[in-house]
């Protein structure tokens, strides 16, 4: 099982696949405890991802991960709420306030935001391997024991899948997904110029077919996301009229944001975090927060197991944490979309977990083959109404 290329034959305690918020948070948690960490990213860093509206509740995990001061110093646009036009007149939905003043969210361009997290992991000793694709898990005696990568085999005591919504490890281990919506394709893009009415706070506007989100994501840069809830192909990939006078920055892109979660988020030698474990559409407003929190918890699970903890019990506890958050946000989205002028017809079925196949009834805890298949901790992070991405 010797590796080859880029030094990847050296053993690691944990391999983290994916260098987004979930993967970086997991790498930070593991490296800080003294574990040897290899962080794999298939792209060259920094990588481009959709901009994100971050709730003020994200400050707590950022502080715990040791990057809050860097995020504050980065000069990200701040805002005290979101303009919402849903089932009534437009209103500013504020995040809240305390004795120190109004709570403020962040508007983050993902490339520089993610880079701060990866830099922190590197400082703690994590080895970052760019342009390194995870191909297959290495299986040994019913456990995941490493990763076969595009640069060779990397053996490890644990693998954390934080590679995103493609569910890399779930597909290869045959872990089924609990799907709660039909195909939902979000369109998103950027434009440059000036849009003063969008400079103070992001906005989300509902219509009969779905919703549109707009925000200032940097100096003279604005982002938009469109989700058509009843159009499987996602509808038109066109910037909203509000940004129509601006200059498009690159082409519009798409993302599969269908509601889904792994039926099991951890097993012998492995754990999934972030979008690898749970995907919901951007109106849930918890994408980065969920990535940071599940990544941190995944790292703690690995630490505890490698220190001699009961892997089955710890994996079950982590799975319950992920499932509870998924169910909470599914219910919140159902309530939100139920207030649309024309709620999507599929909404009534979304709370019913998909019928388990015979394969799903068999516990996927111990991987044996390569079969393929197509509560937030911080109360302040809970949704107070739609807040865009």
pLDDT digits (tens, 9 = 90+) for 217-241: 888 999 999 999 987 676 677 889 9
H or E segment to which residue 136 belongs: strand 134-140
DSSP per-residue codes, 278-303: EE--GGG--HHHHHHHHHHHHHHHHH
Q: What is the pLDDT of residue 362?
A: 36
CATH code of the domain in which 327 resides = 3.50.50.60
The share of the chain scoring above pLDDT 90, in percent, equals 72
The tally of domains found in the chain comes to: 1
The share of the chain scoring above pLDDT 70, in percent, equals 85
Q: What is the pLDDT of residue 230?
A: 82
Q: Which residues contact 310 (CB under 8 A, 6 or more apart)?
A: none
φ, ψ for residue 225, nearest 5 deg: -135, 135
Strand partners, 178: 261
Q: Give 124 or 342, the one with higher predicted confidence.
A: 124
Confidence of residue 3 (pLDDT cuts 50, 70, 90): very low
φ, ψ for residue 139, nearest 5 deg: -110, 135
Give the pLDDT mean for 249-273.
95
Confidence of residue 369 (pLDDT cuts 50, 70, 90): very low
Judged against a pLDDT cut of 90, whether residue 289 lies above it is answered with yes
Give the pLDDT mean for 280-309.
95
Tell me whether residue 389 is in a domain.
no
Q: Check: CB of residue 214 under 8 Å from CB of residue 224.
A: yes
Q: Which residues contact 376 (CB under 8 A, 6 or more apart)?
A: 57, 286, 289, 290, 293, 325, 328, 382
Strands (E), 219-299: 221-228, 247-248, 253-256, 260-262, 266-267, 270-272, 278-279
Q: What is the pLDDT of residue 1?
A: 33
The pTM assigned to this predicted structure is 0.87
How far is the C-alpha of 108 from the C-alpha of 113, rounded, in Å?
6
Q: How many Cβ atoms sit within 10 Å of the Cβ of residue 4?
A: 10
How far is the C-alpha of 220 from the C-alpha of 207, rounded, in Å?
27
Q: Check: CB of residue 227 under 8 Å from CB of residue 282.
A: yes
Judged against a pLDDT cut of 70, whether residue 209 lies above it is answered with yes
How far is the C-alpha of 338 from the C-alpha of 282, rounded, in Å?
16
How far is the C-alpha of 161 from the C-alpha of 134, rounded, in Å?
10
pLDDT in tens, 135-145: 999 999 999 99
The number of angstroms, rounded, from the C-alpha of 224 to the middle of its chain's C-alpha atoms is 18
- CA distance to 51, 333, 382, per residue, from 68 (Å): 18, 29, 20
Strand partners, 13: none
Arithmetic mean of pLDDT over the chain: 86
Q: Check: CB of residue 287 under 8 Å from CB of residue 389.
A: yes
Q: Check: CB of residue 133 under 8 Å from CB of residue 42.
A: yes
Q: What is the pLDDT of residue 376?
A: 35
pLDDT in tens, 184-197: 999 999 999 999 99
Confidence of residue 198 (pLDDT cuts 50, 70, 90): very high
Range of the domain at 56: 12-77+109-178+262-381
Confidence of residue 304 (pLDDT cuts 50, 70, 90): very high
Q: What is the pLDDT of residue 351?
A: 64
Judged against a pLDDT cut of 80, whether residue 358 lies above it is answered with no
**Where do we find the tokens 């988020």?**
265
Tell me whether residue 130 is in a domain.
yes
Judged against a pLDDT cut of 70, whether residue 172 lies above it is answered with yes
Confidence of residue 367 (pLDDT cuts 50, 70, 90): low
Q: What is the pLDDT of residue 293?
A: 97
Judged against a pLDDT cut of 70, whether residue 320 lies above it is answered with yes
């Amino acid at each position: 099982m010797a590796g080859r290329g880029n030094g990847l034959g050296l053993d690691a305690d944990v391999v983290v696949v994916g260098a987004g918020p979930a993967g970086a948070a997991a790498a930070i948690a593991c490296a800080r405890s003294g574990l040897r960490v290899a962080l794999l990213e298939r792209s060259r860093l920094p990588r481009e991802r959709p901009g994100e509206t971050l709730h003020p509740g994200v400050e707590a995990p950022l502080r715990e991960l040791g990057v809050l001061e860097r995020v504050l110093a980065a000069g990200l646009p701040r805002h005290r709420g979101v303009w919402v036009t849903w089932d009534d007149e437009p209103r500013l939905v504020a995040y809240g306030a305390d004795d120190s003043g109004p709570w403020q969210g962040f508007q983050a361009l993902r490339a520089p935001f993610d880079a701060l997290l990866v830099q922190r992991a590197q400082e703690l000793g994590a080895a970052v391997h760019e342009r390194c694709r995870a191909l297959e898990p290495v299986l040994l005696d019913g456990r995941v024991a490493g990763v076969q990568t595009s640069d060779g085999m990397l053996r490890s005591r644990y693998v954390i899948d934080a590679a995103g919504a493609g569910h890399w490890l779930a597909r290869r281990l045959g872990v089924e997904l609990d799907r709660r919506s039909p195909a939902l394709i979000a369109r998103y893009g950027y434009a440059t110029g000036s849009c003063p009415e969008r400079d103070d706070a992001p906005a989300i506007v509902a219509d009969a077919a779905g919703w549109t989100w707009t925000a200032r994501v940097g100096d003279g840069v604005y982002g938009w996301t469109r989700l058509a809830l009843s159009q499987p192909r996602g509808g038109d990939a066109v910037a909203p009229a509000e940004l129509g006078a601006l200059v498009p920055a690159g082409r519009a892109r798409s993302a599969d944001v269908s509601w889904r979660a792994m039926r099991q988020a951890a097993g012998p030698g492995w754990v999934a975090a972030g979008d690898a474990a749970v995907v919901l559409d951007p109106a849930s407003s918890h994408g980065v927060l969920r990535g940071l929190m599940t990544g941190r918890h995944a790292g703690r699970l690995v630490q505890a197991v490698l220190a001699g903890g009961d892997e089955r019990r710890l994996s079950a506890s982590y799975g319950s944490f992920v499932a509870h958050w998924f169910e909470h946000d599914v219910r919140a989205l159902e309530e939100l979309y139920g207030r649309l002028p024309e709620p999507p017809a599929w909404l009534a079925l979304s709370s019913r977990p998909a019928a388990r196949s015979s394969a799903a009834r068999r516990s996927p805890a111990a991987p044996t083959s390569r079969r393929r298949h197509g509560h937030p901790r911080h109360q302040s992070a809970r949704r107070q109404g739609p807040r865009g991405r």
